Amino acid sequence: MNDTIEHKIIISPMGDHDTDLLDTIGKEVKRLFGFPVERKKLVNNVDFAFDTKREQYYSTPILEKLALKATPDTSRILAITDIDLFIPILTFVYGEAQLGGTSCIISTCRLTKDLSAETSKDIFYSRVIKEAIHELGHTFKLLHCKDPSCIMHYCRSIKDVDQKSDQLCRYCKILLDDEKKRLLKKISGS
């Protein structure tokens, strides 16, 4: 039966994060992807991903480790950290995802850039949510979108992040709905 199958998105904080921020991310994720959201710490120690030369953490092995923690009722895992992440071809990343896979991660490390005292919380939250949805979007097979206001637009700088909206463009929304339908069909076995 369809309604007995839980197809969860796990929000997995690494280290300490503001509960209010985690709640807000959870709400937005549920609103956009429609799956039940649960909060669970899955991976705590990421020393294995530390690059001593760069003094940053390589996000790809962290994604692999996270994916191993998925239980059968887990659809996707979104990890949130404040450590500085990289992949070898880039100086840093705001996040990384397994395309069409289980896990993704975002880092708040570079999302605090240029915040002013009076608007800081709102802007910071908005940045974190945009990046969270963006990376989860990749796990639902969404690719980068040319539309600079679409949440799937690739951001090189914090200015790009601030300029894009917190919504998918019409085209990406259709692709996401198709992928969600496909996944739901698969788990209901029809």
Name the site residues for Zn ion (rule: CB under 5 A).
145, 147, 150, 152, 169, 172
Q: Min. distance of Cβ 147 from Zn ion in angstroms?
A: 5
CB of 179 to Zn ion, least distance (A): 14
CA-CA distance, 39 to 78, in Å (whole number)?
Answer: 10
Q: CA 154, 36, 13, 52 torsion: positive or negative?
A: negative
Cβ 145 to Zn ion, closest distance in Å? Answer: 3
Alpha-carbon distance 6 to 46, whole Å?
Answer: 28
Q: Is 135 a catalytic residue?
A: yes
Q: Are 12 and 38 in contact, with CB atoms under 8 Å apart? A: no
Residue 97 pairs with which residues in a beta bridge? 104
59 neighbors 93 (Cβ within 8 angstroms): yes
Q: Determine which helix (DSSP H) or strand (DSSP E) holds 172, and give its type and residue range.
A: helix 170-188
Count Cα neighbours of 180 within 13 Å in the Cβ-side half-sphere: 16
Which residue lies nearer to Zn ion by CB, 105 or 172?
172
Q: Token pair for residue 18?
A: 């503001």
Q: Which residues contact 52 (CB under 8 A, 6 or more apart)?
A: none
* Residue 134 Cβ vs Zn ion, minimum distance, rounded to whole Å: 6
Count Cβ atoms within 10 A of the Cβ of residue 118 and give its class: 0-12 exposed, 13-18 middle, 19 or more buried. exposed
Q: Which of 6, 118, 135, 179 is catalytic?
A: 135
- Select 133 or 145, whichever has its Cβ closest to Zn ion: 145
Q: Closer CB to Zn ion, residue 7 or residue 140?
A: 140
Report the residue number, 144 or 181, with the smaller CB distance to Zn ion.
144
Annotated catalytic residues are 135
